[in-house]
Amino acid sequence: MAHAKPDKKPLETYRKKRNFRATREPRGSTARGSGKDLRLVIQKHDASHLHFDLRLELDGVMKSWAVPKGPSNDPAVKRLAMEVEDHPIEYNKFEGTIPKGEYGGGTVMLWDRGTYEPVEGDIDDLRTAFSKGSIKFIAHGERMKGEWALVRMHRGDGRQWLLIKHRDQFARTGGKLATSATRSVTTGRTMREIAAEGASDPDDDMRAERDERDDAEGIAPMLAHVGHDVPEGKEWAFEPKYDGIRIIAYAAGSAVKLLTRNDIDKAAQFPEIVRALSALSRKRKSPLVLDGEIVARSA
């Protein structure tokens, strides 16, 4: 059986649509997985129109569909699902606001997350199902559960699919899955609470963040070096060597980036650090750049 081959540049469209100096969305990377424990994420997205973004992991990216009315657990209800560009795996942790004027500008909530698997077959069968436009999968989300189908409609440009619930123990006649849950599965926040966190002069914050990035261009994390003598003099300072992630942090109000030496933004992975740096920048009333190590320490 011939199988569809993974796209060699799956994130090219995603990256072209975004200005990563203005948005906290991750630039992302691609890495082929083993096909086990494929991730499923649904993000509630209040952009030009409120909708839900369904994302299914395949070949190191999240295949994505915009579902205007959200998933329905009533098998009699067929939801329109518009196929959009592949998103990076790192997007699975993104919750916050995309600045107005940027692509997809608005509030994003992590509405559901978990894993999924094909009803039958393996990873190659999933690729074939995607290329043929008929995907049957079992969702193991916190809210989206049981068997579902994504079926491409044979009209237009081929981006229109239908999301359909199969009849099983999780099906509900007249079910209101999309409207019954209104809080984030990760932070417990409502859409209004997520939007309010970045509501204080977001345009000024983003402009300051861009200026700070431009001024600090070329800054690299300070890394450990092997030495034989301890330098003397008051101009030297020392820190313990921890085994963590070396980060250059840029903060300008609500705009925060945590960049690794490979220029990968870890902000979505460490929301508590983002909040702390945002608060510090606001307290100082100016942008800041910090070089440090993110480590996990036991109490």
The pLDDT of residue 222 is 67
Does pTM top 0.75 for this prediction? no
Question: Does the pLDDT value for residue 262 go beyond 80?
Answer: no
Q: What percent of the chain has pLDDT over 90?
A: 50
The pLDDT of residue 16 is 95
The pLDDT tens digits of the residues spanning 200-244 come to 444 444 444 444 444 444 566 666 666 677 777 777 776 666 778
Residue 24 in contact with residue 105, Cβ under 8 Å? no
Nearest to 218 by CA among 295, 292, 293, 289: 289
In angstroms, the CA 294 to CA 44 distance is: 29
Pairing of the two strands 255-259 and 245-252: antiparallel
The pLDDT of residue 42 is 98
- Average pLDDT rounded to a whole number, residues 14-20: 95
Q: Which residue has the higher pLDDT, 199 or 32?
A: 32
The pLDDT of residue 113 is 94
The pLDDT of residue 296 is 79
Tell me the three-class secondary structure of the chain, residue by residue.
CCCCCCCCCCCHHHHHCCCCCCCCCCCCCCCCCCCCCEEEEEEEEECCCEEEEEEEEECCEEEEEEECCCCCCCCCCEEEEEEEEEEEHHHHHCCEEECCCCCCCEEEEEEEEEEEEECCCCHHHHHHHHHHCEEEEEEEECCCEEEEEEEECCCCCCCEEEEEECCCCCCCCCCCHHHHCCCCCCCCCCHHHHHHHCCCCHHHHHHHHHHHHHHCCCCCCCCCCCCCCCCCCCCCCCCCCCCCEEEEEEEECCEEEEECCCCCECHHHCHHHHHHHHHHHHHHCCCEEEEEEECCCCC
The pLDDT of residue 82 is 97
The pLDDT of residue 26 is 93
- Average pLDDT rounded to a whole number, residues 48-66: 95
Residue 6 in contact with residue 74, Cβ under 8 Å? no
- Average pLDDT rounded to a whole number, residues 95-112: 94
Q: How far is CA 171 from CA 113, 115, 144, 176, 182, in A?
A: 19, 18, 10, 11, 20
In angstroms, the CA 58 to CA 207 distance is: 36
The pLDDT of residue 198 is 56
Residue 173 in contact with residue 76, Cβ under 8 Å? yes
Query: Catalytic residues, which ones?
Result: 241
The pLDDT of residue 214 is 42
- Average pLDDT rounded to a whole number, residues 272-295: 83
The pLDDT tens digits of the residues spanning 128-175 come to 999 999 999 999 999 999 999 999 998 888 899 999 999 999 999 988
The pLDDT of residue 291 is 85
Question: Does the pLDDT value for residue 66 go beyond 50?
Answer: yes
Q: How many CA atoms does the CB half-sphere of 49 hold within 13 Å?
A: 8
Q: What is the mean pLDDT of the chain?
A: 84
